[in-house]
Amino acid sequence: MSGRLVYLDNNATTCVAPEVRDAMLPFFTELWGNPSSMHAFGGRVARHVEEARALVAALLGADPSEIVFTSCGTESDNAAIYGTAEMFGPQAKIVTSRVEHPAVLGSCRHFQEHGHAVVELAVDGQGQLDLAGLRAAVHGGPCLVSLMWANNETGVVFPMEEIGRIVKSAGGVLHTDAVQAVGKLPVDVRRVPVDLLALSGHKLHAPKGIGALFIRRGTRLKTYMIGGHQEHGRRGGTENVPYIVGLGAAAGLAAKHLAEEQTRVARLRDRLEAGLLATCPDSRVNGDTRHRLPNTTNMSFEFIEGEAILYHLSDQGICASSGSACSSGSLEPSHVIRAMGVPFTAAHGSIRFSLSRYNTDADVDHVLAVMPGIVARLRAMSPFVPR
Amino acid sequence: MWDYTDKVLDHFRNPRNVGRVENADGTGTVGSLACGDALTLTFKLDKQGRIADVKFQTFGCASAIASSSALTEMVKGKTLAEAEKITNRDIAAFLGGLPEQKMHCSVMGREALEVAIHNYRTGETTVKHLEEKIVCTCFGVSENEILRVIRENGLTAADEVTNYCKAGGGCGGCRPQIEDLLARVKAEREALRPAAAAPRRLTNLQRMKLIEEIVARDIRPALQRDRGDVELVDVDGNRVTIAFRGMCAGCQVSEFTRRDFIEAKLRESVAPDITVVEEGKA
């Protein structure tokens, strides 16, 4: 393996920004007090927690009182779904989609086993949501809708404003898993009528182990983590102060770099995608390219298998991921790729490249230099390639 | 990443014998694009009936490619009768082992070899028969294939069956049938057990060695726990002479130790007609 690391797996996790790390360090050394304490030493720490809350709120266009810190995106999703389902009881219907993250799909299926009616909406070949299905599903009684803002595997962005209008006009509660969207797209809860929104720190250059849940004022939610009065009683447990401060710093940076995501990062992604389509025959892009995260491309290379591609890429210092069966550890390709009806010839060879603001043109050049050779090499040993 | 051995990674990065043998004597294709891996194996025999040339084409993950490459190295120079004896465990062992979830790659190799040999002998392109019962419809795995991986690999749980041949790894609807097949093989194994325990005909040398082994492994450590001991003095046919040592020497109940423990143990493990005598007492 060459010494160089080309990291194109930012939808899996991101590097911790140096500014974030620097912001966190004092909270491991001198500022270790408990923010709930009734002394100035703890009170100083509490101020930093509130500053972080304000930064996260600002990134979303929310009020700081609407932000609850959690341990990760999965906890935020669980809290939203659990808290709403428990509040309404089993008569509440739950509407979600087939392409959600397991944190959401798994939670919904859990409540299905406990008597809730659950509707899993389909997506089309482009990964776009069946809005007619949503309109039909939200009528008739209390309802929780959980739909992702952007898909982790394909980057496809759902029309959240329209989804919000549909759900709110039917009187439903809307939760969105915005883990992939926050920091990459403008996310503004003043414009988009979501009630609950989950985000994760390590997808936007904060460390792993910190997330947040936006709870719109007035949203009724049963507390899922019972303990002290922290987070206004909405999540017990002493605050993870260094990581909360880190998330705040990352949110501030994300707001500053949001325009760059839409322009420079998107251009890098587009150059990578166009270059691969041009140099690798029988390749295609999966998902709706008109409504997509600026950093993500999900491509299929036919007749070859994703894990084999990833191992060869890794040998060249390139980190990406795949929706193939083998790399997912199961025996079937990813549920997202299958829900989109991508043919098997292409599903097993799907590769996701996800960029960040730390990527450069040189990174793209390196992938463009090695990928055609890897594809040709694996095709040369595939029994399916027409000769 | 998977915990692949260096040998797996070597065969993945530098696969041996890639391609198709021209005018092959036997061709075997198993798997499909839908299943996520597939292997075509072709071979040619020399005048002595040994595999002179063998090549593979594989669509699949790193361990599928490595298993295919390993298989070609293993069968080269073998007669078909020898090659047929290769099991999926042999392929996995050749590679220094495979992750449990990847064992199906070794099974795919063995199956392709089986089909290729069958193709050479009969001209048919599959060993599956129309009347064969398909258990896993997601991956097209037949009852016979499932029974074979259970028997050859000593599997006892449905998850293991999925790891070895994919059956049950799709919708999961066939898992009850897989459980039934596991139960059937378990019953077979139990029925066979008494036969396996039937008295073996041992040579004098084998009998002496076995007695030595049982005394060292099962008997002495048990006595030593109570600070006693025993020494094996002589073996003459079925007559075993011992001498008690430590706390056992002069123990009030050493007669019971001789008869109910040492003699009983040797009768159970070596032969039912063994007698144990204490040195100087017979």
Angle in degrees, 0-180, between the axes of helices A306-315 and B62-75, rounded to the nearest 10: 90
Assigned CATH topology for domain B6-122 = Sufe protein. Chain: A (3.90.1010)
- So what's the pLDDT on residue B238? 87
Give the sign of the dihedral formed by CA A363, CA A365, CA A368, CA A370.
negative
Q: Where are the domain boundaries for CATH 1.10.10.1100 in chain B?
A: 134-196
| Interface size between A and B, measured as CB pairs under 8 A | 77
Q: Are A306 and A350 in contact (CB under 8 A)?
A: yes
Burial B21-42 (b: 16+ CB within 10 A, else e): beebbbbbbbbebbbbbbbbbb
Task: Identify all chain A residues contacting B18, using CB atoms and an 8 Å cutoff.
Answer: 380-381
Average pLDDT for B77-100: 95
With a cut of 90, say whether residue B189 has pLDDT above it.
no
pLDDT at A1: 43
User: Whole-angstrom Cα distance, residue B160 to residue B175?
Assistant: 11
| B81's tokens | 């009768």
What is the residue whose two structure tokens read 């084409």? B57
For B61, name the nearest residue in chain A, comparing CA atoms only. Answer: A308
Backbone angles phi, psi at B128, to 5 degrees: -80, 145
pLDDT of residue A311: 95
Say whether pLDDT at B223 is over 90: no
Q: How confident is the model at residue B247 (pLDDT cuts 50, 70, 90)?
A: confident
The residues with which B56 forms a beta bridge, in sequence order, are B18, B41
The verdict on a CB contact (< 8 Å) between A381 and B40 is: no
Q: Please check the confidence at residue B171 and state whether its pLDDT lies above 60.
A: yes
CA angle A326, A327, A329 (to 5 degrees): 70
Contact: A303, B33; criterion CB under 8 Å:
yes
CATH code 3.90.1010.10 region(s) in chain B: 6-122
Domain with CATH 3.90.1150.10 in chain A: 6-14+257-380
Q: Which residues of A touch B34 (CB under 8 A)?
A: 344
* Alpha-carbon gap, residue A360 to A368, rounded angstroms: 13
Strands of the sheet containing A296-301, edge to edge, are: A283-285, A296-301, A350-354, A321-322
d(CA B229, CA B219): 9
CATH no. for A18-254: 3.40.640.10
Q: Which amino acid is at A152?
A: N
Mean pLDDT score of chain B:
90
CB atoms within 10 A of CB A24: 22
How many Å separate Cα A92 from the centre of its chain?
A: 26
CA distance A328 to chain B (A): 10
Name residue A87's amino acid.
Answer: M
Q: For the stretch A310-334, what's the b/e string if a residue is b when 16 or more beta carbons lie within 10 angstroms of its beta carbon?
A: bbbbeebbbbbbbbbbbbbebbbbb
Determine contact, residues A197/A145, Cβ cutoff 8 Å: no
Phi, psi of A301 (to 5 degrees): -115, 110
By three-state DSSP, how is residue A5 classified? coil
> What single-letter amino acid sits at B95?
L
Q: Is A377 helix (H, G, I), strand (E, B) or coil?
A: helix
C-beta separation of A347 from A324 below 8 A = yes
DSSP secondary structure string for all residues of chain B: -----HHHHHHHHS-SSBS--TT-SEEEEEEETTTTEEEEEEEEE-TTSBEEEEEEEEES-HHHHHHHHHHHHHHTT-BHHHHHT--HHHHHHHTT---GGGHHHHHHHHHHHHHHHHHHHH--S-S--TTSPEEETTTTEEHHHHHHHHHHHT--SHHHHHHHH-TTSSS-TTHHHHHHHHHHHHHHHHHHHHHHTSPP---HHHHHHHHHHHIIIIIHHHHHHTTEEEEEEEEETTEEEEEEEETTTT-TTHHHIIIIIIIHHHHHHT-TT-EEEETTT-
The helix-helix angle for A361-380 and A306-315 (nearest 10°) equals: 130
Residues 6 or more apart whose CB falls under 8 angstroms from that of B62 comprise A307, A308, A311, A326, B2, B4, B8, B9, B12
Dist. CA A215–CA A31, nearest whole Å: 29
Contact B205/A at CB under 8 A:
no
- What per-residue confidence (pLDDT) applies to B19? 96
Measured in Å, how far apart are chain B's first and last C-alpha atoms?
A: 67
Determine the distance from the C-alpha atom of residue A121 to the mean position of all C-alpha atoms in its chain, rounded to a whole number. 19
Of B36, B65, B162, the CB nearest to A381: B65
Residues 6+ apart with CB under 8 A from A247: A52, A56, A69, A201, A206, A210, A211, A212
Taking an 8 Å cut-off on Cβ atoms, the answer to whether B36 and A345 are in contact is no
CB–CB of B59 and A303 under 8 A?
A: yes
Look up the pTM and report it.
Answer: 0.82
Looking at residue B197, what is its pLDDT? 53
CA B155/CA B161 separation, integer angstroms: 7
Q: Which two tokens stand for residue A206?
A: 């904060």
Q: Say what the pLDDT of residue B34 is.
A: 78
* Residues found in chain A: 387
The β-bridge partners of A94 are: A118, A144
Distance from CA of B60 to the nearest CA of A (A): 5
ipTM of the complex: 0.89
End-to-end CA distance of chain A: 32
Task: Please tell me the class of the A6-14+257-380 domain.
Answer: alpha beta
- Pair A382, A375: CB distance under 8 Å: no
Q: Quick one: closest CA in B to A320, which residue?
A: B1
Residue B254's pLDDT band (cuts 50, 70, 90): confident
d(CA B176, CA B179): 5
Where do you find CATH 3.40.640.10 in chain A? 18-254
Q: Which of B34, B25, B98, B89 is nearest to B65 (CA)?
A: B98
Burial of B280 (0-12, 13-18, 19+ CB in 10 A): exposed
Which of B2, B4, B32, B61 should one mutate to test binding to chain A, selecting the residue with the greatest count of A CBs within 10 A? B61
**Option in A307, A345, A381 nearest B18 (CB):** A381
Neighbours of B49 (CB within 10 A): 12
Nearest one of A161, A193, A202 to A74, comparing CA atoms: A202
Can you tell me whether residue A31 is helix, strand or coil? Answer: coil
- Looking at the DSSP bridge assignments, the partners of residue B235 are B240
Quickly list H helices, A143-287.
Answer: 160-169, 241-260, 266-279
A280 a catalytic residue: no
Does the domain at residues B134-196 carry the CATH identifier 3.30.460.10?
A: no
> Is B34 within 8 Å of chain A by CB?
yes
CB contact under 8 A, A331 and B39: no
Residues 63-122 of chain B with CB under 8 A from chain A are: 63-65, 101-102
| Whether residue B192 has pLDDT greater than 80 | no
DSSP helix/strand/coil, A199: strand
**Which chain A residues are Cβ-neighbours of B19 within 8 angstroms?**
381
Contact B57 A325 (CB under 8 A): no
For the domain B204-278, what is the CATH superfamily, name and number?
A: Fe-S cluster assembly (FSCA) (3.30.300.130)
> Tell me, what's the pLDDT at B130?
67
CB contact under 8 A, B62 and A314: no
Q: What is the pLDDT of residues B129-167, one digit of tens each?
A: 667 889 998 888 999 999 999 999 999 999 999 999 999
Domain with CATH 3.30.300.130 in chain B: 204-278
Catalytic residue among A72, A108, A280, A326: A326
**Residue pLDDT tens, chain A, 387 long:** 447 899 999 999 999 999 999 999 999 999 999 999 999 999 999 999 999 999 999 999 999 999 999 999 999 999 999 999 999 999 999 999 999 999 999 999 999 999 999 999 999 999 999 999 999 999 888 899 999 999 999 999 999 999 999 999 999 999 999 999 999 999 999 999 999 999 999 999 999 999 999 999 999 999 989 998 999 989 999 999 999 999 999 999 999 999 998 999 999 999 999 999 999 999 999 999 999 999 999 999 999 999 999 999 999 999 999 987 766 667 788 899 999 999 887 889 999 999 999 999 999 999 999 999 999 999 999 998 765
Would you say residue B198 has pLDDT above 60?
no
Residue A333's φ and ψ, nearest 5 degrees, are -60, 165
- Name the residue facing B170 among A303, A332, A344 (closest C-beta): A332
% pLDDT > 90, chain B: 60
Mean pLDDT of B38-52: 96
Over the Cα atoms of chain B, what is R_g? 26
pLDDT in the model for residue A238:
95
Show the CA angle centred on residue A233, arms to residues A89 and A100, nearest 5°: 50
Using an 8 Å Cβ cutoff, are A94 and A118 in contact? Answer: yes
Q: Cα B47 from chain centroid? A: 32
